[in-house]
Amino acid sequence: MIAREWQKIKDYDDIKFEYFEGIAKITINRPEVYNAFRPQTNFEMLDAMSICRERNDIGVIILTGAGDKAFCSGGDQKVKGLGGYIDENGVPRLNVLDLHKAIRSIPKPVIAMVNGYAIGGGHVLHVVCDLTIAADNARFGQTGPKVGSFDGGFGSSYLARCVGQKKVREIWFLCRQYTAKEAEDMGMVNKVVPFDRLEDETVEWCQTILKRSPMAIRMIKRALNAELDGQRGLMEFAGDATLMYYLMEEAQEGKKAFLEKRDPDFQKFPKFP
Ligand code: S0N
């Protein structure tokens, strides 16, 4: 693996958050529980995602887990209580769902770099990401009906779009584990590489994406989401159409005319066929 000088962006307890040449890397750093998440982990990832969204020098985000055993093993069963995962104030939370929304919503590609187990809520996490690159030691699967949980959100509907209705029912009903190759064949993993190539391959994908038009990438992510995300997806797609309109002289004319207390002259703008 190429040695890269990842620079720390911000200190957290449960995650590492680093930067390298246009790429942000968020690493769930709880290897003692196979990178299971607790409410604090999700709050920290949400904060990091919000920084990724704001920073103009970040074009693509990698999500991964510390060590070679697990990407993420889902909700931390040790803090699971009535109504969700119990935070430090005793409040039950299901805040990984906010993270799912943030991954869908951020107008930049998010790549799951899967090292080891992507299980339960950890499996949903990679599914929600835009792309998945997996090491050959990766194992994929849902456990919900075995451990008393389920995700009827993106972990079901979007997974079904990736692997088909029959396969998604098998994955959820039987709670089996699948190899990286099986996951690739099913269409829920983009590429499988040897473990020691995982970061190099992922960074190469990021570098290729960074050469592409950020607005085109943004619009295509929005369009692909909109098809599944209903009114919320359309709202985000439409929001970016508005952003593009605001960048046009035609939109500027309306604002200028208002400020100059005159009628706008829209006739000079082309009416495309
Ligand atoms: C990953 C597995 C298969 C690995 O097995 P292996 O190799 O035998 O290792 P273990 O000895 O089992 O594990 C090593 C150490 O890690 C701890 N650990 C592993 N997973 C967890 C976990 N999820 N929580 C807490 N600890 C974990 C082990 O305990 C062990 O430590 P020690 O030695 O100290 O005991 C295997 O570990 C496994 O099957 N893990 C559990 C996977 C699982 O069932 N995860 C939870 C599934 N459910 C969810 O994720 C909830 C979904 C969800 O989040 C959600 C869905 C919809 C809406 C909202 C939500 C929400 O909750 O927010």
Q: Is the ipTM of this complex over 0.85?
A: yes
The yes-or-no verdict on residue 150 having pLDDT over 90 is yes
Question: Do residues 197 and 48 lie in contact, with contact meaning Cβ atoms separated by under 8 Å?
Answer: no
| Shortest-distance atom of ligand 1 to CA 151 | 57
* Percentage of the chain modeled with pLDDT above 90: 98
Higher pLDDT, 110 or 3: 110
Q: Can you give the pLDDT at residue 178?
A: 98
Mean pLDDT of the chain: 97
Question: What confidence category does residue 258 fall into, taking pLDDT thresholds of 50, 70 and 90?
Answer: very high
Rounded Cα distance, 173 and 171, in Å: 6
The verdict on the CB of residue 86 being under 6 Å from ligand 1 is: no
Residue 6 token pair = 């990842």
Rounded Cα distance, 39 and 44, in Å: 9
Q: Can you give the pLDDT at residue 117?
A: 98
What is the whole-number distance in angstroms between the Cα of residue 210 and the centre of ligand 1? 34
The verdict on the CB of residue 77 being under 6 Å from ligand 1 is: yes
What is the whole-number distance in angstroms between the Cα of residue 34 and the centre of ligand 1? 7
Q: Whose CA is nearest to atom 29 of ligand 1?
A: 33
The verdict on the CB of residue 37 being under 6 Å from ligand 1 is: no
CA 221 vs CA 102, 159, 237: distances in Å: 13, 17, 9
**CB atoms inside a 10 Å sphere around CB 239:** 11
Q: Can you give the pLDDT at residue 200?
A: 98
The verdict on the CB of residue 39 being under 6 Å from ligand 1 is: no
Q: What average pLDDT does the segment 186-196 reach?
A: 98
The verdict on the CB of residue 76 being under 6 Å from ligand 1 is: yes
Q: What average pLDDT does the segment 209-231 reach?
A: 96
Task: Identify the bridge partners of residue 151 per DSSP, sorted by sequence position.
Answer: none
Q: Work out the angle between the directed axes of helices 96-105 and 121-128 (0-180°, nearest 10).
A: 10
Q: What average pLDDT does the segment 89-94 reach?
A: 92
Question: Do residues 66 and 35 lie in contact, with contact meaning Cβ atoms separated by under 8 Å?
Answer: yes
The residue among 180, 144, 187 whose CA lies nearest residue 164 is 187
> pLDDT tens across 6-49, in order?
999 999 999 999 999 999 999 999 999 999 999 999 999 999 99
Concatenated DSSP letters of 78-114: GGEETTEEE-TTS-EE-THHHHHHHHHHSSS-EEEEE
Rounded Cα distance, 201 and 179, in Å: 19
The yes-or-no verdict on residue 1 having pLDDT over 90 is no
Q: What average pLDDT does the segment 214-230 reach?
A: 96
Q: Whose CA is nearest to atom 63 of ligand 1?
A: 94
